[in-house]
Structure 1
Amino acid sequence: MINKGRPLRKTSGNRLTAMMQVRNESGRYLEQVLEELSGFVDDIVIVDDASTDGTVRLCESFAKVTKLVTLEGSRFNREWELRRILWELAVSTDPDWLLSVDADEFYEEEAKREMRRLIDQDVYDWVAFRLYDFWGGTTHYREDEHWNIHTKHTRTLVRYLPQFYYFTPQMDHHVPRLPLSYAVLPGFLTELRVKHYGWALPPEALREKYDRYMELDPEGKWGSLEQYASILDENPRLVEWQERRRLGRPE
């Protein structure tokens, strides 16, 4: 139930809910992601897209997972529906802030330490991070004309405003993880980083992902055919990940 009497923007005591959608993540990175999230968020809500492995049992084993919805049939081909179901589940926890996380994303240590400071303020309503696509393993990220998302910022942390209008486009694939309407609200671009291990795979697994994209989007309606083809590059440009010292706090 939404608490209509609370202030819209608080400078302390904010409740942070992590939200994620999962499918067949057992044996990959999900357990480690949930362990890390449990250390700095208040709640975790999950929509399971009809997993056929032990993903649901794994999610249920974490106390911070306070809401878990398991779909009987996969909505993978209608991703906008998955996003809508997850959003409605997340806001039902009456959160102050929401953190959208994939089952293979890890916030660097400095980002986890700074999370409370980022949300306990009344100046901005969203935070965007630098997201790095690791490739072929967990030591290097990819950087070339097709894989450079880290040169921009990705909005993953948002304040929940109950009376605000939230809009998500009805796209079958590559749907923005959070409502696009946040773009009209004040935000903060941080240099804190997120490691994405979704592409930290051996060549045969990368080939499987390429085949899946081509099956789902053969005409490039939802994504770039050139980027899909680049998944199979034999010698992509990789940059070694460097851990860094603690950043100074912005003014």
Structure 2
Amino acid sequence: MSSHRGPLRKTSGNRLTAIMQVRNEAGRYLEQVLEELSEFVDDIVIVDDGSTDNTAQLCLSFAKVKKLVTLQSSLFNREWELRQTLWELAVSTNPDWLLSVDADEFYEESAKREMRRLIDQDVYDWVSFRLFDFWGGTTHYREDEHWNIHTKHTRTLVRYLPNFHYFFPKMDHHVPRLPLSYSVLPGFLTELRVKHYGWAISPEELRRKYSRYLELDPEGRWGSLEQYESILDEQPHLVEWQEEH
């Protein structure tokens, strides 16, 4: 690992690196996500988990994608290894701050504007946002007992500290996107919002996703069987999204 020169916590001149793991995302939201990320990050690092479409070529068409590794065999069923692989690739670039982004996540405009202020400081080492699960389309998010991640905070932005101990729990699925060891460091909870479009899909796609979850985790070892079943709710409680400028 290359040495990290200068102060450990810089108050200016920090580079922001987005990190992503992707698989067969070419026909979905990936292009739009990369376009938006290119507006406010400095670099993008990606692990392609064995895509069989042109996901890798799409990623490489963006100038800010500085590193991309394509796995020959998917690690989808060993998610902690996939997270670890992406993390190691990202830190090999000697980054300042890392923003973990899914291929179907969009930061609201106010969050983009705040990014530089959030990273150019020496007080805290991670930042959490409010994530909203959009459902069946891009106008409403879901809110009920099983779908309420937006009522909590999700850590997606972290300062890279060389020589700090980083680890992921060895789970096959539902692994935290960033190392758990950040929880002992000072952080900042924002009310800035992120739109997650992973569930903004048709009823047919929802059924396929439900079947895939049950196939991967039939006993609910890594997640909640009740939440899996709720994917098929015919009348979920949806709330209209209101943009904030």
User: TM-score, normalised to structure 1's length?
Assistant: 0.97
Gaps of 5+ in 2: none
Alpha-carbon distance in 1 for matches of 2:5, 2:106 = 35
Contact 2:141–2:241 (Cα < 8 Å) also in 1: yes
Please give the per-residue CA displacement for 1:13-32, whole angstroms capped at 9, x wherever unaligned: 00111000000001100000
Query: Secondary structure at the residue paired with 1:227?
Result: helix
C-alpha RMSD over aligned residues: 0.7
| Alignment partners' CA distance in 1, 2:50 and 2:152 | 33
Q: Once the 2 structures are TM-superposed, how far is the Cα of residue 244 of structure 1 from its aligned partner? A: 1.6
Partner residue, 1:36: 36
Residue identity matched to 1:211 = S
Mapped to 2, the partners of 1:4 and 1:127 lie a distance apart of: 21
Counterpart contact for 1:2–1:162, Cα < 8 Å? no
* Unaligned segments of structure 1, at least 5 residues: 246-251
Q: Look up the equivalent residue of 1:107 and give its one-letter code.
A: Y
Structure 1 residue aligned with 2:97: 97
Structure 1 residue 58: deviation in Å? 0.2
Contact 1:26/1:58, CA 8 A, preserved across alignment: yes
Letter in 2 for 1:138: T
1:213-238: CA deviation from partner (whole Å, max 9, x where unpaired):
00000000000000000000000000
What secondary structure does 1:85 align onto? Answer: helix
Structure 2 CA distance, aligned partners of 1:189 and 1:235?
Answer: 32
- Once the two structures are TM-superposed, the CA of residue 5 in structure 1 deviates from its matched residue by 2.9
**Which amino acid is 1:78 matched to?**
R
Which letter maps to 2:70?
T
Match of 2:14 in 1: 14
CA distance in 2, matches of 1:78, 1:193: 29
Shift of 1:100: 0.2
Distance 2:179 2:159 in 1: 12
Name the counterpart of 1:249. none
Matching residue of 1:232: 232
Moved over 6 A (4+): none
SS at match of 1:32: helix
Structure 1 residue 200 corresponds to structure 2 residue 174: no
Give the % identical residues: 84
**1:85 equivalent in alignment to 2:85:** yes
Q: Which residue of 2 aligns with 1:186?
A: 186
